[in-house]
Chains A and B, each alone.
Chain A
Amino acid sequence: MKNLRLIFEFFGRNKIPAIIIVITYTVVLFFANDSFGQYRYAAYTRDLMKRVETPDSLYCMPIVSDGDMMSSDSADPYGDFIDSIEEGAKKCKAYTPFSRTTYLAGMFNGTYINCDLFTPDMVERYALPLSGGNWSDMNRKNDDGCINAIASGAFFMNMDVGDVAEVELNGKGSADERTLKFRIVGKLAKPYAAPFFNAAGTEMSSRYLYQRLDGLILMENDELSDALDKCGGYISTTANFMTAYKSGSSQEEKDEYLKYFEDQFSVFTYDELMAESNELISRELKRRLPIPIFLLTITCVALLSISVLVINKKLREYSIYYLCGCSRFKSYAIISGAITLMSLIGGLLNIVFMEGYYYLTSNGFIKGGGETIYDGFSVLFTVIFALVTAFLSIAISLLIFRKSSPIEIYRKYET
Chain B
Amino acid sequence: MKTLELVFTRIYYDFKQNKSVFTVFLIGCLLCSLSFIFFYGNQLSLKIYEGSDQEVLNEYTINFSEPASYEDIVNSPLIKSDIVLDVEIRCSLTMDEIPKKEMNLSEVAEFDDGSTIYTMSSILYGKDELLQEMGRVEFTDAERKEGKNVVILPSAVSEGVTYNIKTGDKITVSGREYEVVGMSTMFGNFYIPPETFKKGGYTVDSMEIVTSEHMSRSEINQFVADIQEAFPNGVIHHSPLEYFEIAEQNLSSEGFYIICEFIVVSLSFMFLMKYIIDSNNAENIIYSMVGATKKRIFAVIMLENTVIYGVVAAVACVLHKLLYNSFFNQINVSPGITYTLVDYVMIVLAVVVLSCIVSLPFVFSCLKNSIIKNKNKYS
Highest count of chain B CB atoms <10 Å: which of A67, A302, A312: A302
A265 with B160, Cβ < 8 A, contacts A291-B42, A305-B24 known: no
Interface string of A45-73 (1 = CB under 8 A from B): 00000000000000000011111100000
Interface size on A, residues (CB 8 A): 38
Nearest residue (CB) in A for B161 is A65
Q: Considering only CB atoms, which chain B residue lies closest to A25 in the complex?
A: B268
Assuming the contacts A65-B160, A301-B31, A304-B24, asked whether A287 and B333 have C-beta atoms less than 8 A apart, the reply is yes
Give the docked Cα–Cα distance between A309 and B20 (Å): 9
Complex alpha-carbon distance, A67 and B160, angstroms = 6
Contact of B134 among A21, A264, A286, A301 (CB under 8 A): A264
- Asked whether, in the complex, the Cβ of A294 is within 8 Å of the Cβ of B159, the reply is no
> Smallest Cβ distance from B68 to chain A, in angstroms?
34
Whether A309 pairs with B21 at a CB distance below 8 angstroms is yes
Q: Given the complex of chains A and B, what is the CA–CA distance between A72 and B134 in angstroms?
A: 24
A390 CB to closest chain B CB (Å) equals 15
| Contact present for A290 and B268 (CB under 8 Å) | no
A290-B332 contact in complex given A63-B156, A264-B134, A305-B272, C-beta closer than 8 Å: yes
Q: A266-B134, A301-B27, A309-B275 are in contact. Are A20 and B268 (CB under 8 A)?
A: yes
Asked whether any CB of chain B lies closer than 8 Å to the CB of A163, the reply is no
Chain B residue, CB-CB nearest to A305: B24
* Cβ-based interface call for B52 (8 A): no
Q: How far is the CB of A25 from chain B (nearest CB, A)?
A: 10
- Indicate whether B271 reaches chain A with its CB closer than 8 angstroms: yes
A312-B167 in contact given A65-B161, A287-B333, A291-B333 (Cβ < 8 Å): no
Given A302-B268, A312-B20, the answer on whether A262 and B159 have CB atoms closer than 8 Å is: no
Complex alpha-carbon distance, A17 and B268, angstroms = 7
Contact, CB under 8 Å: B20 / A400:
yes
Taking the complex as formed, is B9 at the interface, i.e. its CB lies under 8 A from any CB of chain A?
Answer: no
**Cα(A20)–Cα(B268), bound, Å:** 7
Please, which residues of chain B bring their CB within 8 A of the CB of A312?
18, 20-21, 275
Asked if A326 lies at the interface with its beta carbon under 8 angstroms from chain B, I say no
Main secondary structure of the interface of A (DSSP, over half): helix
A290-B20 in contact (CB<8A): no
Q: Does B357 contact A (CB under 8 A)?
A: no
- Contact A308 to B156, CB < 8 A, known contacts A63-B133, A263-B167, A298-B32: no
Measured between beta carbons, the chain A residues less than 8 angstroms from B360 are none
- Is the C-beta of B298 less than 8 angstroms from some C-beta in chain A? no
Report Cα–Cα, A306/B42, bound state, in Å.
Answer: 29
**Measured CA separation A21–B267 after assembly (Å):** 9
Chain B residues contacting A21 (CB-CB under 8 Å) are 268
Complex contacts, A266 vs chain B, CB 8 Å: 132-134
- Residue ID in chain A nearest B131 by CB atoms: A266
In chain A, positions 282-328 with a C-beta closer than 8 Å to chain B are: 286-287, 290-291, 293-295, 297-298, 301-306, 308-309, 312-313
Q: Which residues of B contact A313 (CB under 8 A)?
A: 275
A263 and B35 in contact (CB under 8 A), knowing A17-B268, A301-B28, A312-B20? Answer: no
**Interface pair A67/B268, CB less than 8 Å apart:** no
Give complex CA distance A401, B185 in Å. 68
Chain A nearest CB from B30 CB (Å) reads: 9
| Residue in chain B with minimal CB distance to A70 | B159
Q: Which residues of A contact B31 (CB under 8 A)?
A: 297-298, 301
Kindly provide the distance from the CB of A99 to the nearest chain B CB, expressed in whole angstroms. Answer: 22
Q: Is B331 an interface residue (CB 8 A)?
A: yes
Complex interface bits, B24-40 against A, C-beta within 8 A gives 1, otherwise 0: 11011001100100100
Q: Which residues of chain B are near A305, meaning CB under 8 Å?
A: 24-25, 27-28, 268-269, 271-272
Is there a chain A Cβ closer than 8 Å to B157's Cβ? Answer: yes
Q: CB-CB contacts of A189-229 with B at 8 A, as 1s and 0s? A: 00000000000001000000000000000000000000000
What's the least CB distance linking B268 to chain A, in Å? 4
Name the 3 nearest CB pairs between A and B, nearest first.
A302-B268, A290-B331, A65-B162
20 A/B residue pairs, CB under 8 Å, sorted by A:
A17-B271, A65-B157, A65-B161, A264-B166, A266-B133, A287-B333, A291-B42, A295-B35, A298-B35, A301-B31, A302-B28, A302-B265, A304-B24, A305-B28, A306-B268, A306-B271, A309-B275, A312-B18, A312-B20, A400-B20
On A, residues with C-beta under 8 Å from B are: 14, 16-17, 20-21, 24, 63-68, 202, 262-266, 286-287, 290-291, 293-295, 297-298, 301-306, 308-309, 312-313, 400
Apart from A308-B272, A312-B20, list 6 A-B contacts with CB within 8 A: A16-B271, A21-B268, A65-B157, A291-B333, A308-B24, A313-B275
